[in-house]
Amino acid sequence: MALLQISEPGQSPAPHQRSLAVGIDLGTTHSLAASVRSGQPEILNDAQARGLLPSVVAYLDDGSVRVGWEALAEGTGRKQTRIASFKRFMGRSAQDAHAVNAPYAFAEGEGMARVQTVQGPRTPVEISAEVLRVLRERAEAALGGDLVGAVITVPAYFDDAQRQATRDAAQLAGLNVLRLLNEPTAAAIAYGLDHQAEGIYAVYDLGGGTFDLSILRLSKGVFEVIATGGDTTLGGDDFDAAIVQHVLAQSGAAAALSHEERKQLLIEARRVRESLTDSDSAVFEAVLVSGRAVHCTLTRAVFHALAQPLIERTLQWVRRALRDAALQVADIKGVVMVGGATRMPVVRQAVEVFFGRPPFTELDPDKVVALGAALQANLLAGNHAPGDDWLLLDVIPLSLGIETMGGLVERIIGRNSTIPVARAQEFTTFKDGQGAMSFHVVQGERELVSDCRSLARFELRGIPPMTAGAARIRVTFQVDADGLLNVSAQELSTGVQATISVKPSYGLSDDEIARMLADGMAQADADAQARMLREAQVDARRLVESVDAALQVDADLLDAQERIAVDDALNAARQCDLMDDTARVRAAIEQLTQATDAFAARRMDRSIRAALAGRAVDDILS
């Protein structure tokens, strides 16, 4: 007998009903949204049929806010603050933002960077939320309903703070984040590499404010990111800044500029740079607010010379990623170009020369990331057809670990580990009766905590009193598919546990990311020596504390001469923290060990005699 599924009135799903989801590329220069329609991803346009939304927000003195084209169209007759390229300040502190020398006034104070506007200070998270809100409204109008969520793309080299800032901005905009997807991976999806190709591909992503290089292995619908690298402070904006610097030097107008004048010159520089894509020369013309006129003719040859140092910086990251993946240039089957800045002929030429093959440029580099994100959003929303599945295996850009005694880093998850990932490691107490343990979570490639970036601190309390080294504390690191970290610590005998979701402060300098890997390689030998010294100092400290504790109980086992020798060796070992020579530290440890060998044997004898006192041999043997 066939069974019929019966639904109550109003409860049966509408035929062909689909969950509405979008992919969003929150870019430095432009942002856009895309969705899958009739099985194909397409860009969602506004009422004027424009797909791109300039990543510009204008705050007006009447309390209103203009976004995108409206912000650009807002005249100069009203008092306003117009902000662009704010993606560069995501996850950054006020001090870091000042260091970028951006054409904005930043509010003083600790914590997240805040731009001064006519409506008061605004964080990059709040500014980003304005753009995301417009994209959400555009998507809902185009798709005819509420969104179940969005996949938002981020540079592969965005750290925890920058990813969390992006999530916060989406929440402010009323968006449910289905996943944060690395921009290079989204571009590979858009090119259809998941179905039509196998092999190793590189994605070269040069946007307005960031650069990413990812190397992916594609096999039967599995995207495995095997290495990544990049610079979150390198993009088209830097090419514009190089043009401005050159023009000011040539025109003799290199006097101090106001924030407004600098913004004015950077806008003109972008126009000139884009003109040089199709022309051999372009005229740079601007009349500054102060009345000064700036005029200069820039040839393509001169611009190429200005661009070479910046392009070489991107190629250095390419070489590092290849080295991390243990690959040669010849192993790369194809190169995908992503980001509006890759339209520059000089960039495409440099990439073609480096890889020895023309890169893929068939799709609009401004739209390719959003199209790939739309495909992933459609998948996560449950709209995919059988056979449309693929598996994304991204990686974390920098190692994660905790601080151990001596200021050393114990890595739990290494860089370029595939995410999501969970790893655990056991630690123990340092002192007798220690009832709590403090954990310092760090990120970076150096051996010493002082050379890495601090992520979070938390404590595990309620550890039962035990002798040093007897407690077993398991520390577990979990990195989710968005690259966000959770850390837990558990004492295994009692089950007492502490957990922290690592939501780092926004005080990371983006320059640290570029520096960490370079320092990790350049300082490898020095770090190894420093680690050996710290480990030896920790051993000396542990031995000193052990001998001190033993003397408090059994000092009577030493005669006067032996006590003098032990005290001398103890005093020498106490100085180990001040020594900078591993060999001297180890010599001091050896001297103290030899001076206390006989003492240790006598203590053992006394302990055995005490344990056996008053007991019959038969009782002991039984």
State residue 507's pLDDT score: 38
Above 60 in pLDDT, residue 33?
A: yes
Q: What is the pTM of this model?
A: 0.63
Distance in angstroms (rounded) separating the CA atoms of residues 453 and 443: 5
Name 255's Cβ contacts closer than 8 Å, sequence gap at least 6: none
497-501 and 485-491 beta bridge pairing: antiparallel
Distance in angstroms (rounded) separating the CA atoms of residues 25 and 22: 10
Look up residue 205 and give its two tokens.
Answer: 């992503």
When pLDDT is averaged across residues 360-368 and rounded to a whole number, the result is 85
State residue 204's pLDDT score: 92
Count of all residues that appear for the chain in the document: 622
The 10s digit of each residue's pLDDT in 8-32 is: 444 434 444 568 999 999 988 889 9
Above 60 in pLDDT, residue 504?
A: no
Start-to-end CA distance of the chain, whole Å, equals 73
Above 50 in pLDDT, residue 587?
A: yes
Distance in angstroms (rounded) separating the CA atoms of residues 163 and 156: 10
The 10s digit of each residue's pLDDT in 569-581 is: 999 989 988 888 8
Above 80 in pLDDT, residue 124?
A: yes
State residue 370's pLDDT score: 93
Please report, to the nearest 10 degrees, the dihedral formed by the alpha carbons of residues 114, 119, 125, 128 taken in order.
Answer: -130
Q: What ranges make up the beta strands (E) of 74-176? A: 80-84, 149-154
How many angstroms separate the Cα of 343 from the Cα of each of 236, 542, 567? 10, 61, 73
Least-confidence region, from 30-39, 365-374, 609-618: 609-618
Distance in angstroms (rounded) separating the CA atoms of residues 389 and 409: 39
State residue 619's pLDDT score: 61
Position with higher pLDDT, 477 vs 405? 477
When pLDDT is averaged across residues 585-610 and rounded to a whole number, the result is 87
Distance in angstroms (rounded) separating the CA atoms of residues 164 and 500: 15
CB crowding 506-517: b at 16 or more within 10 Å, else e: bbbbbebbbbbb
State residue 355's pLDDT score: 93
Above 90 in pLDDT, residue 371?
A: yes
Mean pLDDT of the chain: 81
Name 219's Cβ contacts closer than 8 Å, sequence gap at least 6: 198
418-419 and 408-413 beta bridge pairing: unpaired
When pLDDT is averaged across residues 55-77 and rounded to a whole number, the result is 83
How many angstroms separate the Cα of 280 from the Cα of each of 3, 4, 298? 74, 72, 9
Least-confidence region, from 12-26, 125-139, 403-417, 473-487: 12-26
Above 70 in pLDDT, residue 238?
A: yes
Above 70 in pLDDT, residue 102?
A: no
State residue 508's pLDDT score: 37
Task: Give the 3-state secondary structure of residue 506.
Answer: coil
When pLDDT is averaged across residues 107-114 and rounded to a whole number, the result is 73
Above 60 in pLDDT, residue 46?
A: yes
The 10s digit of each residue's pLDDT in 297-336 is: 888 899 999 999 999 999 999 998 898 889 999 999 989 8
Instruction: Give the rounded percent of residues in the chain with a pLDDT score beyond 90.
Output: 15
When pLDDT is averaged across residues 510-523 and rounded to a whole number, the result is 50
Q: Where are the alpha helices (DSSP H) in 214-355?
A: 236-251, 259-275, 300-324, 345-355
Instruction: Give the rounded percent of residues in the chain with a pLDDT score beyond 70.
Output: 84
Query: Hey, what domains does the chain have and what are their CATH numbers?
Result: 21-235+307-394 (3.30.420.40), 396-522 (2.60.34.10), 525-612 (1.20.1270.10)
Distance in angstroms (rounded) separating the CA atoms of residues 202 and 324: 13
State residue 512's pLDDT score: 41
State residue 4's pLDDT score: 41
State residue 374's pLDDT score: 93
Above 50 in pLDDT, residue 510?
A: no
Residue 31 backbone phi and psi in degrees, to 5: -125, 155
When pLDDT is averaged across residues 194-222 and rounded to a whole number, the result is 80
Active site residues: 25, 87, 183, 205
State residue 9's pLDDT score: 43
